[in-house]
Structure 1
Amino acid sequence: MLSGEIRDVVMLSLATVGIIWYLALWSIGLFGCWSARKRYRLRPRSPLATAASAPGVSILRPLKGLDTNLYENLESTFQQEYPNYEIIFSVAEENDQALPIVRELMSKYPRVQTAVIIGKKTRSFAFDERGLRCCPGEEVVGVNPKVNNLIRSYRQAAHDILWVLDSNVMVDPGTLARSVDAMDAPPPPGSPPPPRRIAVVHHVPFAFAAEAKLGSRIEEAFLNTNHAKMYIAINTVAIESCVVGKSNLYRRSDLERVNGSLKAISPNDTLQQDDRGLAAFGRFLAEDNMIASSLWHELGLRHSLSCDVARNVVGNMTLGDYVWRRVRWIRVRKHMVLAATLVEPFTESVMLSAIAVSSLKYLFAIPPWITLLLHYSVWLSVDLDVYASLAGHPLPASIRWEFLGAWAARELLALPIYLLAIFGDEVMWRGNRYQVLRNGEVRRAASGDTGYFRRLVPKRRSREHYEPLPHTVT
Structure 2
Amino acid sequence: MTAIFYAACGGFVWCSFLWAVGIVGCSAARKRYRLRPRSPLATAPASSVPGVSILRPLKGLDTNLYENLESTFTQEYPNFEILLSVADENDQALPVARELIAKYPHVNCRIIVGEEIVGVNPKVNNLVRSYREAAHDILWVIDSNVTVHSGTLARSVDALSGSPNAKKRIALVHHVPFAVVTENKIGSRIEEAFLNTNHAKMYIAINTVAVDSCVMGKSNVYRRSDLERVNGSLKPVPTSGSQPGTRGLPAFARFLAEDNMIAGALWHELGDRHDLSCDIARNVVGNMSLSDYIRRRARWIRVRKHMVLSATLLEPFTESVVLSLILAWSLNTLFAVPPLLSLAAHFAIWIYVDLDVYASLAGHPLPAGQRWSFMAAWAARELLALPIFLFAIFGSQVTWRGRNYTILRNGEVERAEQTRSWFQRLRQPKNYDPLSTEL
Category of TM-score, reference length = shorter chain: over 0.9
Distance (Å, rounded) in 2 between the aligned partners of 1:90 and 1:404: 38
Aligned partner (choices 347, 350, 361) of residue 321 of structure 2 = 350
Cα 1:113–1:324 shift into 2, 3 Å:
same
Deviation at 1:449, TM superposition (A): 1.4
Asked if 1 retains the 8 angstrom alpha-carbon contact of 2:162 and 2:169, the reply is: no
Distance (Å, rounded) in 2 between the aligned partners of 1:289 and 1:446: 25
Q: Does 1:198 align with 2:170?
A: yes
Letter of the 2:196 partner, please give it. Answer: N
Distance (Å, rounded) in 1 between the aligned partners of 2:376 and 2:421: 31
Letter of the 1:212 partner, please give it. Answer: N
Tell me, what secondary structure is at the counterpart of 1:443? strand
Distance (Å, rounded) in 1 between the aligned partners of 2:154 and 2:40: 8
Aligned partner (choices 128, 135, 146) of residue 151 of structure 1 = 128
Q: Does 1:57 align with 2:49?
A: no
> 1:78 is matched with which residue?
73
Letter of the 1:253 partner, please give it. Answer: S
> 1:19 is matched with which residue?
12
Distance (Å, rounded) in 1 between the aligned partners of 2:240 and 2:277: 33
Distance (Å, rounded) in 2 between the aligned partners of 1:12 and 1:281: 48
Distance (Å, rounded) in 2 between the aligned partners of 1:305 and 1:16: 35
Distance (Å, rounded) in 2 between the aligned partners of 1:271 and 1:9: 53
Letter of the 1:213 partner, please give it. Answer: K
Q: What is the correspondence of 1:263-274 to structure 2 with a 5 Å cutoff?
A: 263-267=235-239, 269=241, 271-272=243-244
Q: What is the correspondence of 1:204-353 to structure 2 with a 5 Å cutoff?
A: 204-267=176-239, 269=241, 271-272=243-244, 275-353=246-324
Deviation at 1:452, TM superposition (A): 6.0
Aligned partner (choices 377, 391, 412) of residue 406 of structure 1 = 377
Q: What is the correspondence of 1:115-134 to structure 2 with a 5 Å cutoff?
A: 115-120=110-115
The number of residues matched between the two structures is: 423
Asked if 1 retains the 8 angstrom alpha-carbon contact of 2:237 and 2:243, the reply is: no
Aligned partner (choices 1, 20, 25) of residue 32 of structure 1 = 25
Distance (Å, rounded) in 1 between the aligned partners of 2:422 and 2:87: 29
Distance (Å, rounded) in 2 between the aligned partners of 1:49 and 1:290: 31
Distance (Å, rounded) in 2 between the aligned partners of 1:400 and 1:198: 39
Distance (Å, rounded) in 2 between the aligned partners of 1:317 and 1:354: 31
Distance (Å, rounded) in 2 between the aligned partners of 1:181 and 1:269: 26
Cα 1:164–1:355 shift into 2, 3 Å:
same
Distance (Å, rounded) in 2 between the aligned partners of 1:196 and 1:353: 38
Aligned partner (choices 400, 408, 426) of residue 429 of structure 1 = 400
Tell me, what secondary structure is at the counterpart of 2:61? coil
Q: What is the correspondence of 1:160-199 to structure 2 with a 5 Å cutoff?
A: 160-187=137-164, 193-199=165-171
Distance (Å, rounded) in 2 between the aligned partners of 1:386 and 1:243: 18
Cα 1:451–1:50 shift into 2, 3 Å:
farther
Tell me, what secondary structure is at the counterpart of 2:149? coil
Tell me, what secondary structure is at the counterpart of 2:184? coil
Distance (Å, rounded) in 1 between the aligned partners of 2:421 and 2:157: 44
Moved more, 176-185 or 319-328: 176-185
Unaligned runs of 5+ in 2: 425-439
Distance (Å, rounded) in 2 between the aligned partners of 1:85 and 1:414: 41
Asked if 1 retains the 8 angstrom alpha-carbon contact of 2:87 and 2:126, the reply is: yes
Q: What is the correspondence of 1:81-120 to structure 2 with a 5 Å cutoff?
A: 81-120=76-115
CA deviation map 1:208-241 (0-9, x unaligned): 1111110000000000000000000000111100
Deviation at 1:251, TM superposition (A): 0.2
Please tell me the root mean square deviation across aligned C-alpha atoms, in Å.
Answer: 1.3
Cα 1:431–1:326 shift into 2, 3 Å:
same
4+ aligned runs moved over 6 Å, structure 1: none
Distance (Å, rounded) in 1 between the aligned partners of 2:36 and 2:359: 14
Letter of the 1:34 partner, please give it. Answer: S
Deviation at 1:185, TM superposition (A): 4.6
> 2:411 is matched with which residue?
440
Letter of the 1:264 partner, please give it. Answer: P
Distance (Å, rounded) in 2 between the aligned partners of 1:203 and 1:296: 17
Tell me, what secondary structure is at the counterpart of 1:275? coil
> 1:42 is matched with which residue?
35
Tell me, what secondary structure is at the counterpart of 1:167? coil
Letter of the 1:23 partner, please give it. Answer: S
Q: Percent identity?
A: 69
Distance (Å, rounded) in 1 between the aligned partners of 2:400 and 2:417: 14
Asked if 1 retains the 8 angstrom alpha-carbon contact of 2:230 and 2:242, the reply is: no
Letter of the 1:303 partner, please give it. Answer: H
Letter of the 1:43 partner, please give it. Answer: R
Unaligned runs of 5+ in 1: 1-7, 121-138, 188-192, 454-474
Cα 1:370–1:171 shift into 2, 3 Å:
same
